[in-house]
Every structure is written in C-alpha cells, then in structure tokens.
C-alpha cells in the first residue's frame, strides 16, 4: 500500500497467502498517510516451501516506511508455522 494519491485508513490484511515480489507486503506513506491498519494471520511462502525467494520476497517479507505502522501479529512462514516479526 502506498498513500500517494490520498490518505488510506482502516486497512485489514488478514488470512492471506503471500509469495514473492520485492516485498510481498509494503506499507508506505508518500504525499499522504496510512493509518489504522492490521496485518494478521497471513502466511508467507519461501523457496524451501514452494515460494520464489528464500526470504519470502527478493528483499524480505515486508517493508515499512510510514509514520504510523500497522498492528502486525500471527504472520507465519507457510512451511514451518514460525512467526515472522515486523
């Protein structure tokens, strides 16, 4: 998500399977702000478990550059169930 055309708020990203890209999840303030978000219960694939990249994405699982970060909880690797921290 990138708030370059207007503010974004009340975002829920829950129970998805994420795989590949530079970062499968991206949270970025640009000209506007992103507020009040929740990223929960998602599974991230990695090469060992059938994904494209060993780190879930080319650079990692997530990138954050915002004044307000989302709640991040219970996001795990799909192959092991291990928690992924923010």
Prediction pTM value: 0.89
pLDDT in tens, 12-51: 999 999 998 899 999 999 999 999 999 999 999 998 767 7
Distances (CA, A) of 15 to 12, 30, 38, 85: 10, 26, 11, 16
So where are the chain's domains? Answer: 2-77
């Amino acid at each position: 998500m990138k708030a370059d055309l207007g503010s974004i708020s009340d975002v829920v990203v829950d129970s998805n399977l994420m795989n590949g890209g530079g970062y499968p999840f991206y949270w970025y303030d640009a000209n506007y702000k992103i507020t009040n978000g929740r990223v929960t219960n998602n599974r991230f694939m990695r090469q060992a478990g059938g994904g494209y990249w060993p780190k879930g994405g080319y650079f990692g699982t997530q990138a954050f550059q915002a004044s307000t970060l989302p709640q991040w909880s219970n996001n795990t690797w799909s192959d092991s169930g291990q928690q992924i921290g923010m």
